[in-house]
């Protein structure tokens, strides 16, 4: 398969669109946790009960369309190869938990891959909706409509006092996890982000790197999301998150301008060194890839690099992960072989760019 | 009241312990309660602490709250629907089913408060279909109150009318529940 075709299939259609503030906000996500009223949660349910949920979701929603989310495809985890599951995880369409722990799990995915409904994960249902750029309100609006649409067929576990009942006490109430994925290279270079994170945590929001382990944020990509789900309305939760994200956007833009004004040569050097590494290396590991991609993307956003499209960071962050590399190679690869393939895939991708 | 174990600190935990069928009143401070093993949920709190990095670790404020419900440590709470015990819940940190929320209801507020910045009650979306149900149940309660008032006031004609309304609403509610099955 050609790289171009592989990429077209690998990158979710919605990711190719540019949303508001997409120079900094890569995507907005809404996740709702929902459970069936009369069936124990997956942690304790027996096989028959989980099968009942699978059958119910398949019979009622397979190949159904809602708004512009067409032809929901129903896929059972048990029918997927390990690599295929890994690819879905790397595309953020399913969680690692569903891929690894839920034998009787499944997922419904819309054709444009903007909607995915995980079945029999920690909760019976986890409805996820992605929007490009900074569009939390639109995402919530659609998620609500989706929720109502599902409720036409399902009796959700709901209590007047506690709200939507979930397996974990950290999700009860709204069952809402709203998150925004942000590229914050200038705040990272100037080390401002480290000072901002504790303040953001104080507001009941969580900041974490989306790639990489622990507190490390590979590619300077951060995910900001709400912690509290009980006692606040969905709109209040979204508004809190929105105002913090707006502040971060402001600060990131200021830091970029400051870098451009005061350390222009150093910044330009850093950006073009990274560009050079991506263009010429023959062996590259994921950590260095992430750093270089972040620099190049910053270079594009600040006008230093003009012949490369902005979506390259989003695309290559996903494509250069182990699952995708092995799917591209159609075989399992050792870490060393992956580093070689990763370098060649990046070179090819940049060549593709220059040929347009 | 001073702690009956150390006779130093004030007793902050008060409960009844049943030993060989005899009820004994216990008044101890938190530290002695922990050391002498009076409180079983302390261990539970610790295992949760490990699992959920402190989310469930009861602070003194929540201990005070528990003392008011004058619990007996021997009694295990168990969900009749899914079979999960309160102890299991605190170990796993996950509920087994929707009914667990009702079964463990008395003990959940301190946990929710910790996890959700002091909140214990839902203030968001209500399911569309079930929402009307909730609304109607509230209406039913109001009508029943009204009925009692009418009977008290010996307004029997009006009372008969209200009783009919209640019956109709109850039929409607039961019917809706039937339709919700699949
Ligand atoms: Zn004492
Ligand atoms: Zn239960």
pLDDT at A11 over 70: yes
Query: Which segment of A299-308, B116-125, B173-182 scores lowest on mean pLDDT?
Result: B173-182
| Structure confidence at residue A204 (pLDDT) | 85
| Average pLDDT score over residue span A13-42 | 94
pLDDT at B128 over 90: no
Cβ contacts of B129 on chain A, cutoff 8 Å: 151-152, 155
**Residue B74 burial by Cβ neighbours in a 10 Å radius (0-12, 13-18, 19+):** exposed
Cβ contacts of A61 on chain B, cutoff 8 Å: none
pLDDT at B50 over 70: no
- The tokens for A225 are 């999301």
Per-residue confidence at B67, pLDDT binned at 50, 70, 90?
Answer: very low
- The tokens for A218 are 């590979």
* Angle at the Cα of A124 from the Cα atoms of A120 and A127, rounded to 5 degrees: 100
Q: What is the pLDDT of residues A278-293, one digit of tens each?
A: 999 999 999 999 999 9
* B96 C-alpha to ligand 2 centroid (Å): 5
Query: Please, which contacts does B15-20 make with residues 24 or more away whose CB atoms are closer than 8 Å?
Result: B15/B67, B15/B70, B15/B71, B15/B72, B15/B73, B16/B70, B16/B72, B17/B72, B17/B73, B17/B74, B18/B72, B18/B74
The H or E element containing residue B65 is: helix B60-68
Residue of A154 and B180 predicted with greater confidence: A154
- SS3 of A214-242: the string is CCCCHHHEEEEEECCCCCCCHHHHHHHHH
| Structure confidence at residue A46 (pLDDT) | 95
| Structure confidence at residue A41 (pLDDT) | 97
- The tokens for A35 are 């459970």
Distance from CA of A172 to the nearest CA of B (A): 8
pLDDT at A127 over 60: yes
- List Cα–Cα distances, B138 to A340, B24, B147, B173, in angstroms: 66, 43, 14, 11
Give the SS3 label for residue A131. Answer: strand
| Structure confidence at residue B55 (pLDDT) | 45
Note whether B103 and B79 are within 8 A (CB).
yes
In B, what residues contact A, Cβ < 8 A? Answer: 52, 55, 81-84, 92-98, 101-102, 108, 111-112, 115-130, 134, 180, 182
| Structure confidence at residue B63 (pLDDT) | 42
ipTM for the whole predicted complex goes beyond 0.90? no
A356 is in an annotated binding site: no
Q: What is the pLDDT of residues A212-263, one digit of tens each?
A: 655 568 899 999 999 999 999 999 999 999 999 999 999 999 999 999 999 9
| Average pLDDT score over residue span B58-81 | 56
- The tokens for B107 are 């003990």
Query: Which segment of B10-14, B17-21, B110-114, B153-157 scores lowest on mean pLDDT?
Result: B17-21
Note whether A171 and A192 are within 8 A (CB).
no
Q: What is the pLDDT of residues A69-105, one digit of tens each?
A: 999 999 999 999 988 898 899 889 999 999 998 889 9
Chain A's closest residue to B133, CA to CA, is A160
Axis crossing angle, helix A335-355 with helix A322-329, rounded to the nearest 10: 80
Query: How far is residue A328's CA from residue A324's CA, in Å, rounded to a whole number?
Result: 6
Query: How far is residue B124's CA from residue B132's CA, in Å, rounded to a whole number?
Result: 15
Q: What is the pLDDT of residues A18-32, one digit of tens each?
A: 899 999 999 999 999
Per-residue confidence at B85, pLDDT binned at 50, 70, 90?
Answer: very high
Nearest Cβ partner of A40 from B55, B97, B124? B97
| Average pLDDT score over residue span B19-24 | 59
| Average pLDDT score over residue span A323-345 | 91
| Average pLDDT score over residue span B99-119 | 93
| Structure confidence at residue B52 (pLDDT) | 46
| Structure confidence at residue B19 (pLDDT) | 54
- SS3 of A276-340: the string is HHHHHCCCCCHHHHHHHHHHHHHHHHCCCCCCCCCCHHHHHHHHCCHHHHHHHHCCCCCHHHHHH
Nearest Cβ partner of A163 from B81, B92, B124? B124
Question: Which residues lie closer than 8 Å to B50 by C-beta, 6 or more apart?
Answer: none
């Amino acid at each position: 398969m050609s790289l171009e075709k592989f990429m077209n299939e690998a990158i979710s259609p919605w990711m190719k669109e540019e949303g508001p503030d997409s120079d900094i906000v890569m995507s907005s996500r809404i996740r709702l946790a929902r459970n069936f009223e009369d069936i124990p949660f997956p942690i304790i349910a027996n096989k028959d009960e989980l099968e009942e949920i699978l059958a119910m979701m398949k019979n009622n929603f397979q190949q159904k369309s809602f708004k512009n989310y067409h032809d929901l495809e129903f896929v059972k985890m048990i029918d997927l190869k390990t690599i295929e599951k890994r690819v879905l995880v790397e595309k953020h369409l399913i969680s690692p938990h569903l891929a690894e722990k839920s034998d009787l799990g499944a997922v419904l995915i819309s054709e444009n891959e903007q909607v995915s409904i995980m079945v029999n994960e920690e909760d019976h249902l986890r409805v996820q909706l992605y929007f490009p750029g900074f569009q939390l309100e639109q995402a919530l609006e659609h998620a609500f409509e989706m929720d109502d649409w599902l409720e036409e067929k399902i009796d959700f576990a709901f209590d007047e006092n506690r709200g939507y009942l979930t397996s974990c006490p950290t999700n009860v109430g709204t069952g809402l996890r709203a998150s925004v994925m942000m590229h914050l290279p200038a705040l990272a270079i100037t080390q401002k982000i480290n000072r901002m994170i504790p303040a953001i945590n104080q507001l009941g929001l969580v900041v974490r790197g989306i790639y990489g382990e622990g507190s490390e944020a590979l590619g300077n990509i951060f995910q900001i999301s709400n912690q509290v789900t009980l006692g606040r309305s969905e709109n209040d939760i979204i508004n809190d998150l929105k105002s913090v994200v707006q502040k971060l956007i402001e600060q990131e833009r200021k830091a970029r301008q400051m870098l451009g004004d005061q350390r222009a040569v150093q910044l330009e050097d850093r950006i073009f060194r990274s560009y050079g590494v991506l263009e010429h290396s023959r062996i590259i590991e994921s950590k260095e890839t992430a750093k270089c991609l972040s620099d190049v993307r910053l270079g594009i956003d600040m006008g230093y690099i003009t012949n490369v499209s902005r979506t390259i960071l989003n695309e290559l962050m996903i494509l250069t992960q182990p699952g995708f590399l092995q799917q591209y190679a159609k075989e399992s690869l050792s870490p060393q072989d992956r580093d070689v393939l990763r370098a060649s895939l990046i070179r090819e991708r940049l060549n593709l760019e220059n040929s347009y | 009241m001073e702690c009956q174990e150390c006779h130093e600190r004030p007793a902050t935990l008060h409960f009844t312990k049943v030993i060989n069928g005899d009820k004994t009143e216990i008044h101890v401070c938190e530290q002695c309660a922990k050391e002498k093993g009076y409180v079983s949920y302390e261990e539970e709190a610790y295992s949760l602490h490990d699992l959920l990095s402190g989310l469930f670790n009861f602070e003194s404020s929540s201990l005070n709250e528990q003392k008011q419900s004058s619990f007996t440590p021997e009694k295990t709470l168990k969900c009749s629907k899914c079979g999960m015990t309160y102890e299991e819940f605190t170990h796993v940190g996950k509920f087994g089913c929707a009914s667990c929320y009702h079964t463990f209801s008395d003990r959940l507020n301190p946990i929710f408060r910790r996890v959700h910045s002091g909140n214990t009650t839902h203030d968001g979306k209500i399911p569309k279909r079930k929402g009307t149900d909730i609304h109607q149940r509230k209406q039913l309660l109001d009508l029943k109150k009204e009925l009692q008032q009418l009977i008290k006031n010996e307004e029997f004609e009006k009372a008969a009318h209200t009783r009919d309304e209640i019956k109709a609403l109850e039929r409607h509610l039961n019917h809706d529940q039937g339709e919700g099955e699949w």
